[in-house]
Structure 1
Amino acid sequence: MDAVVLIGSFMLLMLIGVPVAYSLGLAALVGALWIDIPLDAVMVQIAAGVNKFSLLAIPFFVLAGAIMAEGGMARRLVAFAGVLVGFIRGGLSLVNILASTFFGAISGSSVADTASVGTVLIPEMEKKGYPRPFATAVTVSGSVQAILIPPSHNAVLYSLAAGGSVSIAALFMAGVVPGLLMGLTLAALCLLKARKHNYPKGEVIPLRQALKIAGEAMWGLMTMVIILGGILSGVFTANESASIAVLWAFFVTMFVYRDYKWRDLPKLVHRTVKTVTVVMILIGFAAAFGYMMTLMQVPMKITGFITGLSDNKYVILALLNVLLLLLGTLMDMSPLILILTPILLPVVKLLGVDPVHFGMIMMVNLGIGLITPPVGTVLFVGSAVAKLKIGVVTQAMMPFFVALFLVLMMVTYLPALSLWLPRAMGL
């Protein structure tokens, strides 16, 4: 009955339109009153939830991504991707996917990826003869790579939700191969579409111009080298790499590219602070909600229920995939990671699934949820950028959903895709 009160109050608050973060906090208070524990204990858990050193990585990565997104990085990455693959039939769709790969490795955000790359490429693709819904579908689908390719904010959240037992560096490295696999799968689909519909080829860019474009893009791509190189070499931690990435992004944007005006910088910082504030409120309230679940033994009860359905690891993983896909269409990614990780991680550990591997399974599932109606945040952003109705974009995305589902199956049932690189790096 305790669990019914806690989870039921949370669902009721959600249904009447209370924001997710406040629903978590209020449900925790209701649960505390129900089992008659001091409300001070809930407040302590909220404070403890955000009083973690590892959380410093989130605001720094968000700020670095925002600076690069608004400082001309997206345009230069698109141009560089055009040099590499733009001359192939359907090349602009490949440019879109590759630009999302590059930008995702800098921003770590699917929303920023869609907004930045989409603003540049959706109009350009339509101008060159691609249907606008197809161009939007490519942009939205390609942005899911940012969930996996480091630096991923959601990997930091997963590590936090796992109680700090999973290394952020290991999660960063685990996302590299699945992220690249996703990009290659989407690129293959775009090539098939291009051949079927006879989409245009781009022009080969002259060598001198190509070198200039590559030189400009390399300044931004060095951000990725700094983040990953520093962590893997042991020169600095994930938190330190995030702060250094901010300094590098600021230097490149304001002193190398010089496209961004100094007077606009306070507004950018203000938007970043607002974003981070929302995330931190969510983390604090989710910590209190998780504390109440632990007191009520909700994770243990759910573990017993799921393992009672089957003792086959692959069947259980299939059921968890269905659950995550369904929930991902109804809620945003960050709260789901914070809520579900403490519940589901004991289940998969009992089955012998590596926590890093399960992190990638969760990321792919919930990443697909970001582009799926009715609550697909990234889908909404892509539709707004393209000025198309959600239904039109969703219809164009059907083949891309199939491609992403194939990637999900490979990530789920081929653990080596996620675990090979972290183990090779000794993480």
Structure 2
Amino acid sequence: MQVNETVNDGLKRGYQITLSAAELDEKVNEKLTEAQPDIEMKGFRKGKVPMALLKKQFGDRLLGEAMQESVDGAISKHFEETGDRPAMQPDVKMTNENWEKGQDVEVELSYEKLPEIPDFDAGSISLERLVVTPDDAAVEDALNSLAENAKSFDAKDGASEDGDQVVIDFLGKVDGEAFEGGAAEDYPLVLGSGSFIPGFEEQLTGKTAGEEVEVKVSFPEDYQAAHLAGKDAMFETTVKEVKAPKAAEIDDELAKNYGAEDLEALKGQIKERLAAEYAGAARQVLKRKLLDELDGKVSFDLPPSLVQAEADQIAHTLWHEENPDHQGHDHDKIEATDEHMKLAERRVRLGLLLAELGRKNEVQVTDAEMTQAVMAQARQYPGQERQFFEFVQQNPQMRQQLQAPIFEDKVVDFIIEKADVTDKDVSKEDLEAAVEALEDEDTAA
């Protein structure tokens, strides 16, 4: 077998692989010799069928297998010897398309190899980590929110006001005809909650128990039920009760309702939850700072195919975000812009760098971490968790999608541990501003 280099341009590589007819014939003979002891044929004892007869009967069938195995073996050997790692699936095609038995096989192999990633000293990176300690005011805000969620409603005399709860029966009609899902009895509606069609709740303000109201509204143009979108409707509504909100007391009883032993225990749980939320937000900011540092410190050639694929994906995703009503992919090709290409270059560069750092330092995603990720994803499909687990097990691409962010975060943590990180105490507002700045950058990108 001969392997000749035909392309060596940057990261692009091309090779002509020639597999001689004699090598193919030898490979077929090897396969027949291996199988001969187990072959039975009429007129011959098991394992005693002559090689010539075996070749006549099975040779053509084994020729294709021998050809594929030989080419695959040659390609695997090539990557082992050169150390090249293809950026994407290599392109392999037979160049003598009119090949006939007895001729040499000529195959063209082309790919873009992954670049050599330069080493860098993680200890040379200086980062600032924002630290927020939950204060009493934050705990009180959280307690007030819990009390608001736990509020009750007591019957009252007089007209309904914004914030009151009205218990209503209603029957909705469009063009004089009742429609499915447009009726309910004893429905508790909090006025001002915005949970009903725009304009509905306002027309029930100032009403008393026992009043009957014709509520006239228009369904929004983008209403989820297409047959109702944009249409005028009238709801025959009866106000059965008017109730005023009663705030829950912030005491031990409230704490017990939320699973804590007493109020002090609930405050402790709130502090822990707030601390975890602040730490998560601070890590987002720290990770972005780290990626910005890495992007400025390390430079190497990028495989054009990877950059183009990433830019196309970015352009496609952003187009769908700007056109949410277009769910399918039956649209014209979306061309990536210079901005998309610039963002793609950054993502590919950082992705390759983190992947190489993880490989060199043997960063691994454990089975337990994968199971936790699958379980978290499965919760989005209540009642179908088992089917989701089976889908993930049978779908390598899905497993890779779940594994990739875990691996990236572990590599980021590995670098942060070696970097020079200084903690800086800041206020909650400062942290929120830093997170908003990240979101603004992502939106601009």
Shorter-chain TM-score bucket reads under 0.3
Q: Say which one has the larger Rg.
A: 2
Q: TM-score if structure 2 supplies the norm length?
A: 0.22
